[in-house]
């Protein structure tokens, strides 16, 4: 848990990534911070203990390792304070627990990460919080969904698996007029490609599991609040006792140093493959905000500085063909693309997306939706692998 005091940002994004969060001369000149394994922190005397008169008091409240990462995230997000939690999912659920109370109403985007929907429909419902799902393309029209007890609007842009781009600024303006807090899951873009707080978001959430960690070996989440909402987040963190582990915090900070160059590569390869897919007759359409043909492209172009390496496409299916068989044949034809969840690592991944839990989505029914995470393999090899998948799908 860490608060941020320096909000002046003049450095470029990659310079920021290299320097953020740790001053080597605060620790004997070593370039990286120490991995502090701790529960107990000793006080020199009873008076200091009585008034908690030193920077660290107990490891659930922060260590030099967790602070190095939180400070780095604060610099990137422009936030007043950040907390670390053990997964990206926990980052969303803990933000909801921090700001919602029984009797409140929350508006959650219909294209939200599926496990967040499950949390809303199960635990939030049990705790007496009412949730309505809204159309990701709604923009300022969200006003019609506000009730007297609407306290929170959750955004995720682009949306999970279907990649709808939201007009965050328009939504935040309406939410603030109604006294509601705006949270955003910004995992896809990272603060390098979209800065939520600059668009009116109050609390920015990242699954550091993905691009910040970058190697498919760490689970972690960060929640970063602006000055107005930081105190409540900090209190929730202290009350719940949920914190990030030191080795994981270290690895995420290490990952941040190279995140800019990794994202550049994800983006370049993803764009090349998405464009190639779009030209194929066995693809009905490609869902990637960086493609001019994508319905949310204009908002993406206006608000984002880049596109990351995850997108979906719809496999073309002839009348009467079985979607499931076609999708599975395609996936089983792949060998470089692994079949697995998550994204943001170095290896390419593929899966069939299940959009059946969507309340609003009516499009995308023309064929199975396949999500790809484009890793660091050579694009020519990835295309050849996908070609094999299409050939298998044709035979199915």
Ligand X SMILES: Cc1ncc(COP(=O)(O)O)c(C=O)c1O
Question: What is the spatial distance between Cα 182 and Cα 175, in angstroms, rounded to a whole number?
Answer: 7
Question: What is the spatial distance between Cα 12 and Cα 119, in angstroms, rounded to a whole number?
Answer: 37
* One of 185, 202, 248, 303 touching ligand X (CB under 6 A): 185
Give the nearest distance from C-beta 194 to ligand X in angstroms: 13
Residue 367 three-state SS: coil
Q: What is the DSSP letter of 17?
A: H
Instruction: Specify the residue, 171 or 393, whose C-beta has the smaller distance to ligand X.
Output: 171
* One of 207, 223, 233, 316 touching ligand X (CB under 6 A): 207
Instruction: Specify the residue, 219 or 273, whose C-beta has the smaller distance to ligand X.
Output: 219
* One of 89, 109, 174, 277 touching ligand X (CB under 6 A): 89
Whether the CB-CB separation of 214 and 258 falls below 8 Å is answered with yes
Give the nearest distance from C-beta 116 to ligand X in angstroms: 7
- 134 DSSP β-pair partners: 109
Instruction: Specify the residue, 160 or 166, whose C-beta has the smaller distance to ligand X.
Output: 160
Instruction: Specify the residue, 211 or 230, whose C-beta has the smaller distance to ligand X.
Output: 211
- State the number of binding residues for ligand X (CB under 6 A): 13
Question: What is the spatial distance between Cα 347 and Cα 180, in angstroms, rounded to a whole number?
Answer: 39
Question: What is the spatial distance between Cα 123 and Cα 25, in angstroms, rounded to a whole number?
Answer: 46
Residue 279 Cα distances to 58, 98, 123, 262, angstroms = 57, 46, 44, 26
87 is a site residue for ligand X (CB under 6 A): yes
Give the nearest distance from C-beta 131 to ligand X in angstroms: 17
Cα radius of gyration (the chain): 22
* One of 84, 172, 174, 219 touching ligand X (CB under 6 A): 219
Q: At what angle do helices 379-395 and 323-332 cross, to 10 degrees?
A: 140
Question: What is the spatial distance between Cα 252 and Cα 242, in angstroms, rounded to a whole number?
Answer: 17
Whether the CB-CB separation of 142 and 119 falls below 8 Å is answered with no
Assigned token pair, 333? 């034809």
Instruction: Specify the residue, 75 or 185, whose C-beta has the smaller distance to ligand X.
Output: 185
Whether the CB-CB separation of 230 and 3 falls below 8 Å is answered with yes
Instruction: Specify the residue, 150 or 222, whose C-beta has the smaller distance to ligand X.
Output: 222
224 is a site residue for ligand X (CB under 6 A): no
- Phi/psi at 180 (5° precision): -100, 150
Instruction: Specify the residue, 110 or 156, whose C-beta has the smaller distance to ligand X.
Output: 156
The one segment of 71-79, 83-91, 243-251, 350-358 that binds ligand X by CB under 6 A: 83-91
* One of 2, 82, 155, 160 touching ligand X (CB under 6 A): 160
Give the nearest distance from C-beta 325 to ligand X in angstroms: 26
Whether the CB-CB separation of 111 and 159 falls below 8 Å is answered with yes
- The structure tokens 């709604």 sit at 138
Contact pattern from residue 140 through residue 159 relative to ligand X, giving x for each residue in contact according to CB under 6 A and a dash for the rest: ----------------x---
Question: What is the spatial distance between Cα 290 and Cα 270, in angstroms, rounded to a whole number?
Answer: 9
Give the nearest distance from C-beta 149 to ligand X in angstroms: 26
Give the nearest distance from C-beta 294 to ligand X in angstroms: 18
The one segment of 12-20, 44-52, 86-94, 371-379 that binds ligand X by CB under 6 A: 86-94
Segment 113-132, which members bind ligand X (CB under 6 A)? 113
* One of 342, 360, 377, 385 touching ligand X (CB under 6 A): 342
The one segment of 9-17, 87-95, 257-265, 381-389 that binds ligand X by CB under 6 A: 87-95
Q: What is the DSSP letter of 159?
A: P
- Phi/psi at 115 (5° precision): -70, -25
Residues contributing to the site for ligand X (CB under 6 A): 87-89, 113, 156, 160, 185, 187, 207, 209, 219, 221, 342
């Amino acid at each position: 848990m860490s608060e941020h005091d320096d909000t002046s940002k003049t450095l470029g994004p990659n310079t920021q990534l290299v320097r953020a969060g740790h001053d080597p001369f605060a620790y004997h000149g070593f370039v990286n911070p120490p991995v502090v394994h701790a529960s107990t922190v000793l006080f020199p005397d009873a008076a200091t203990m009585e008034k908690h008169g030193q920077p660290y008091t107990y490891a659930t409240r922060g260590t030099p390792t967790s602070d190095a990462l939180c400070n780095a995230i604060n610099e990137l997000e422009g936030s007043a304070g950040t907390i670390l939690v053990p997964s990206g999912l926990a980052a969303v659920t803990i933000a909801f627990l921090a700001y919602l109370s029984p009797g409140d109403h929350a508006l959650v985007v219909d294209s939200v990460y599926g496990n967040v929907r499950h949390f809303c429909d199960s635990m939030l419902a049990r705790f007496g919080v009412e949730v309505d799902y809204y159309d990701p393309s709604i923009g300022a029209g969200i006003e019609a969904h506000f009730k007297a007890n609407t306290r929170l609007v959750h955004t995720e842009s682009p949306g999970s698996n279907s990649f709808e781009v939201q007009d965050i600024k328009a939504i935040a303006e309406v939410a603030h007029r109604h006294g509601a807090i705006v949270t955003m899951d910004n995992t896809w873009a990272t603060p390098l490609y979209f800065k939520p707080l600059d668009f009116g978001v109050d609390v920015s959430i990242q699954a550091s599991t993905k691009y910040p960690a970058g190697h498919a070996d760490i689970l972690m989440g960060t929640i970063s609040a602006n000055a107005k909402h930081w105190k409540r987040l900090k209190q929730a963190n202290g009350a719940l006792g949920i914190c990030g582990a030191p080795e994981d915090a270290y690895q995420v900070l290490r990952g941040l140093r190279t995140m800019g160059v990794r994202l550049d590569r994800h983006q370049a390869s993803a764009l090349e493959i998405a464009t190639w897919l779009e030209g194929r007759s066995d693809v009905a359409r490609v869902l990637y905000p960086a493609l001019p043909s994508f319905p949310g492209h204009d908002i993406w172009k206006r608000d984002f500085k880049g596109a990351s390496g995850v997108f979906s496409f719809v496999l073309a299916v002839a009348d009467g063909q079985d979607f499931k068989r076609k999708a599975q044949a395609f996936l089983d034809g792949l060998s470089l693309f692994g079949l697995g969840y998550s994204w943001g690592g170095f290896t390419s991944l593929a899966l069939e997306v299940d959009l059946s839990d969507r309340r609003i989505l009516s499009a995308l029914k023309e064929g199975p939706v396949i999500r790809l995470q484009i890793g660091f393999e050579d694009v020519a090899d990835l295309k050849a692998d996908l070609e094999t998948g299409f050939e298998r799908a044709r035979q199915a």
